[in-house]
Amino acid sequence: MSEGNMATFPCSTQRGLLISETWPGYNLDVFTLPNHYCEDLECVFIPHGVIVDRIERLASDIMKDIGDNHITVLCVLKGGYKFCADLVEHIKNLSRNSERFISMRVDFIRLRSYCNDKSTEDLQIIGGEELSKLTGKNVLIVEDVIGTGRTMKALLSHIEKYNPKMVKVASLLVKRSPGNETYRPDYTGFEIPDIFVVGYALDYNEHFRDLHHICVISEKGKEKYKV
C-alpha cells in the first residue's frame, strides 16, 4: 500500500477514530483469514489489533467518567457480544489497578432491524421483559454499530420507561449515514463511511461473525449469503 493511501487512515476526533471515505483498507493477502471467506470480502477495513487497542482506550474513558459506580451493562446481541466482552474485560483490568472501582453485571438484549444489508423501520426487541430490572440503575448499553440512529433512539425511548438512574451508550462503530445527523453515542470506537462491514461478531445473515478483523463484504458475498 502506498504512502498516499496511508494518509487516509483514521484520525482521532471526539466522535471516535474517523475513517475517511477514501480509506481503501488493507489487501486480504496480508492477513490470515478463513479460506472459505476470501472470495466474499473486498478488504480488511480495521485490523483486529487496532480494534483491541481502541477498545482499551474506550474502557479508560468509561472508567474516568463513571468509575465508583455499579453499572448494568446491557449488551445488544448478537453483533455486540465480542465488543462487549472485550470492553468489560478491559474495564475490569483497569478497575483492579485503580483507586476507582466499577462493579458490573451484564445483561443481554437482542434487536432485529436488518434484512440482508438494509436497515428497516421494524424494530423487534427480544428479551425486553428483563428491562424492568433497570429501574434506578446506571446503564451502559453496548452496541456493535449505529447507522441511521433510529434503532438506538427507539431502544433508549423504550428503556426510559423504566426510569433508569443513568444511561450511557458505547458503540464500536458509527456510520456516516445520510439518515443520522443528530444522534451520537457517548463512546465511539470508529466513525466509518456508510458501508456494510462484517467480522468481529458483525454478521451478514449470520455469516462472518468468526472473522477477527472488520472487513468490507463484496457484492459476491452479499449475493452468496442473502436470504
Which cell numbers in the block locate residue 169? 451508550
What's the pLDDT at 1?
A: 39
105 domain residue, yes or no? yes
- In the chain, the number of structural domains is 1
164 domain residue, yes or no? yes
Distance CA 99, CA 38 (A): 46
8 domain residue, yes or no? no
186 domain residue, yes or no? yes
Task: List the CATH number of the domain containing 149.
Answer: 3.40.50.2020
Which cell numbers in the block locate residue 122? 421494524
Backbone angles phi and psi of 186, in degrees to 5: -70, -30
Distance CA 102, CA 104 (A): 6
Structural domain for 84, as ranges? 53-193
Edge-to-edge strands, sheet with 214-217:
41-46, 214-217, 197-198
* Tens-binned pLDDT, residue by residue, of the chain (227 aa): 333 333 344 444 557 899 999 999 999 999 999 888 888 999 999 999 999 999 999 999 999 888 888 999 999 988 899 999 999 999 999 988 888 788 899 999 888 755 555 555 566 777 766 788 899 999 999 999 998 888 898 899 989 999 999 999 999 999 988 766 678 899 999 999 999 999 999 999 999 999 999 999 999 999 998 88
What's the pLDDT at 8?
A: 43
pTM greater than 0.75:
yes
CB-based contacts of 70, cutoff 8 Å, min separation 6: 102, 103, 104, 105, 137, 138
User: Which residue in 72, 136, 67, 58 sits closest to 96, CA to CA?
Assistant: 67
What's the pLDDT at 52?
A: 96
Distance CA 173, CA 216 (A): 13
41 domain residue, yes or no? no
78 domain residue, yes or no? yes
